[in-house]
Amino acid sequence: MPRIVCLWLGLLLSFSGFGQSDQDFLIIPKPAKMEVLDGRFMFSNETTVRFPPDNAELKTLADPFIRQFQAATGFSLRTENRPGATPTATLLAFVPVSDANLGDEGYRLDVTTTTITIEATKPAGFFYAIQSLYQLLPPEIFRSTPADLSVNWSVPACRIEDKPRYGYRGLHLDVARHFFPVSFIKKYIDLLALHKFNTFHWHLTDDQGWRIEIKKYPKLTQVGSRRKETLIGHYYESDPQQFDGQSYGGFYTQDEVREVVRYAKSKYVTIIPEIEMPGHALAILAAYPEFGCSGGPYETATKWGIFTDVLCPYDRTFTFLQDVLTEVMTLFPGPYIHIGGDECPKISWKKSPFCQNLMKKLKLKNENQLQSYFISRIDKWVSSKGWKTIGWDEILEGNSPAIRVSPGATVMSWRGIEGGLKAARQNHDVIMTPGNFLYLDHYQADRSQEPLAFGRFTPLEKTYSYDPTPADLPATAQKHLIGAQANVWTEYLKTANQVEYMVWPRAAAVAEVVWTPLDQKNWPDFTRRLPALFKRLDALGVSYSRAYYDVVAETRPQPDGTLQIAMTTQEETAEIRYSTDGSTPTAQSVRYDRPFDLTKPTSVKAVTVKSGVVIGDVQVWDFAVSKATGKSIQFATIPTRPKNIDPALLIDGRYGTTIGYLEEMQNVAGVKTADLTATLDLAEPQSIQLVTIGLVKATAGAILLPKQVDVAVSDDGRTFRTVKTVSMDPRERGKKAIIRQTLTFEPVTCRYVRISARNVGKVPAGMTQAGKDAWVMVDEITVE
C-alpha cells in the first residue's frame, strides 16, 4: 500500500474514532473512547460467562443478559466462577478492578476474537458495559423467541473505555394528566437503562390527578385520583371548550410503587418522586378542601393549564404534607424528593385574610416571599429527614436573607437556562431541563403532519445540539451543574404508544448529551447510528417517531405563475419518491431528482426510500396555484402577528394551519382592531371571476371572522371599484379552523385586486374574550 494511502487511513481512524468498520459500532450514547481491532468474537453454545468467586452481585447483574441471550439465540451460555480455569471456547469475563479513572459508572470493554473482558469498579459500571454489549450485537438480541438462523451472533473486536459526562442523567414522565400502568412504567425504565440514563423522575401528582396511594389520607386516591371528564383536543381548539363526559382515573398502590422501585434498582435507575406544592394542587383540594384558602368546594381539574386555587400555608397544611412525604419516603430509596414549586398563582393568597396576617407576622414583603416561606419550610423538614429537596427553578423566587431554601436544595431549571445558571452561581446543585431543548411533548416535525402535541417545535437535531454547561460559566459554578433531564408532559398523550412516539428517538439524543464527552458529540455521526437505533426499537416493540426521515417541501412561486416545489430530507443516503395524482407513493413511484413545477392546485405526497424500502412516513401537502401565484402583494396595515411578515406568505402556495397555540399558527397573518387589506398586482390585465381567502376562526383567542369581506379591482392601482361583498358573522364560535371563503362575481378584466377583511374591532358581548381587541387573521389568497 502506498505510504500516502496509509497516512490517509490513519488520519481517518484517528478522527472518526471508529475506523473502517464503523458500521459495527453503533452504540448510543457514543462511548468516550473506542479503539477498533481486527476480527470478531463469536458467541456459541460453548461460550462461557465467568464471574469472580463469591461475587453474587455480579452474577445477579449478568443473569438477565444470559437469559435474554438464550431467548433471542437459543444458545445456553455456560457460567462459572473459577478465574484460573481454561475456557472450552470463547469467554465473557467480568473482572472487578480498582481504578479511580473509571469512577462509579465507568467501564472497560475489551473484545478479542476469543475473549470479552468487562472491567469496572462498581456494579453500575458492569451494567452499562452490558448495555453497550447489547448494542454491539445484532438488534435481534431483543427478541423474545429465537431469531432466524442466518443472524450472526458476534461482536466486533474493540477496546472501549467509557464513563459518563454527568452524574445525573434523567428522563421524566407525567402520569398525573394521563395514567400509565406498571407494565408500561417498567418498559419505560428498560429503555432508560439501555441508553444509560440513571434517573427516572416520576411526576405523580397534579391538578388533574393524584396517582400514589397514601394510607393516612385515603381520599387522595378515592377522590383526587379521578376527574369527571377530560378536555377534547387542544386547549384552544373549541370555543366553548369541549369535554368527553367520561370519568377518568387511576393510581398506583404502595405495593405497585415498591415493585417499580425494585425493578428500577435492578436497572441501576433511581426514581425521584414528585409531589407538587403549593400550586398544581386541585386534586389534593378536591379530596381535602380544608387545605385551600377558600375552603372550596373544589374539583379535580378537567382541563390543562394553571389554576388559581393552591394550597394555603396553614399549619395543618404542613402537617398534611409532612405526613404524605413520610409515607412517600418509605417507598423510595432517596436521596431526592421533588416538591414542585412551579406555576403557583398568588390570587387566593392575596384574598386570604390568613395569608395576609401571616405575611405581616413574618414581615414578608409580598406573596412571592410567602411562597419562599412555604418552600423553605418544607425543604427544612425534608432535610431534617436526611433527604435532599429538588424543585423547579421558581423555588428561588422571593428568597430573602431570612427565608430561603437550604444550600442543599437542587434546582431544576425549566424556563430556559438562566434560572439554572443563577442557582449554580448561588452554589445550588442544578439539573438543566430547559423547555426549548428538552421538553419531549413538543412537536418534532411539521405539525400539519404530526399527531396532537403540546405545541412549540423541538426537532431531534435541536435536542441533540444542547450543551448543559455553558463554556463561559465560571468553574466554581460549573461544578454545580450535575446533569440534565428531558421532560415528558402528557396533557395530549393519552396512550403508551403516543408517549413512545414523542420520546424516541429524541431521548436517545438526550442520552448522548448527558453521557458522551462534548468533543465526541457529532450530529452527522449520531445520524449514522440512527438506523441501528430504529432497528433496536423495532425489536423492542417501541412506537417511535420516524420524523428524521420526513420529506420537507418548500414552495417557490415563479414569475410565470407556476409554483416550484423543492423537497429535501435529512437522511442524505435516502431518495425521495413522490406522487401528484393522489396515489400513495411507494418505492416504485417517481423519484425526486430536482424541483418540479405545478401549474394547478395539486395534492403532493412524498416518502423517503432506502435500498428499495420505504423508511419514512408519507407526507401530504395541498398546494395552491392561481393567477396570484408569483405576483406582488402589499398590505395597507402591516400585520403584527407574526412580526416582520413577508406579504408574499399569503400567495406562496402553502395553506396555513391553526395547529398548536395561537401564537404558533403557521402561514397566517393577522392585524388587531384594524382591517386586513391586501392588494395584488397581477402584472398585467387579466380576466378574473373568483377570489378565495382563508379566514381564521379562533374565538377563544379573540381571533374572529371579519364582519365583511370585500373584493375590489383596479386598472391603475389607484381607483378601485368593488365587485363583491360578503357579510360574515364575527360572533360565530365553535372549533378553531380556517374557513375558506369564496367570492364569485361576473368576469372582469383588471390588473389590481384588493381584498379587505373588515375587523369588528372589539370582541362582542357574550363571547369568551368580550371587550378585548379583536384580531382578523387570514391565510392563502387565490385568484381565478
Which residues lie closer than 8 Å to 566 by C-beta, 6 or more apart? 553, 554, 556, 595
* Residue showing cell 433527604: 387
d(CA 196, CA 150): 30
Q: How far apart are CA 709 and CA 741, in angstroms?
A: 9
- Closest to 267 measured CA to CA, from 188, 338, 340: 188
* Torsion angles phi and psi, residue 277, rounded to 5: -165, 155
Return the beta strands (E) in 175-258 as ranges. 199-203, 205-206, 209-210, 226-227, 238-239, 248-249
Asked if 502 and 444 count as a contact pair (C-beta separation under 8 A), the reply is: yes
Dihedral sign of CA atoms 293, 294, 298, 301 in order: negative
User: Do residues 419 and 368 lie in contact, with contact meaning Cβ atoms separated by under 8 Å?
Assistant: no
Dihedrals φ, ψ of 629, to 5°? -60, 130
Rounded distance between C-alpha atoms, residue 741 and residue 362, angstroms: 61
Cβ neighbours around 703 below 10 Å, total: 26
The grid coordinates of residue 411 equal 434546582
Say if residues 694 and 684 touch (Cβ distance below 8 Å).
no
**Is 367 considered catalytic here?**
no
* Contact criterion met (CB below 8 Å) for 692 and 643: no
Q: Determine contact, residues 531/611, Cβ cutoff 8 Å.
A: no
What the block records as the C-alpha cell of 502 is 414523542
Contact 314, 236 (CB under 8 A): no
- DSSP code for 774: P
Strand partners, 48: 78, 91
Selected catalytic residue, list 46, 229, 256, 343: 343
| Contact of 741 with 673, CB cutoff 8 Å | no
Cis peptide before 434 (omega within 30 of 0): no
409 three-class SS: coil
DSSP codes of every residue in 80-149: E--TTSPPSS-EEEEEE---TTTTTT-EEEEE-SSEEEEEESSHHHHHHHHHHHHHHS-GGGG-SS---T
CB 343 within 8 A of CB 306: yes
Could you say which DSSP state residue 550 is in? Answer: -
> SS3 breakdown of the chain: % helix, strand, coil, rounded to 5?
30, 30, 40
Contact (Cβ atoms closer than 8 angstroms) between residue 171 and residue 511: no
- Residues with catalytic annotation? 343
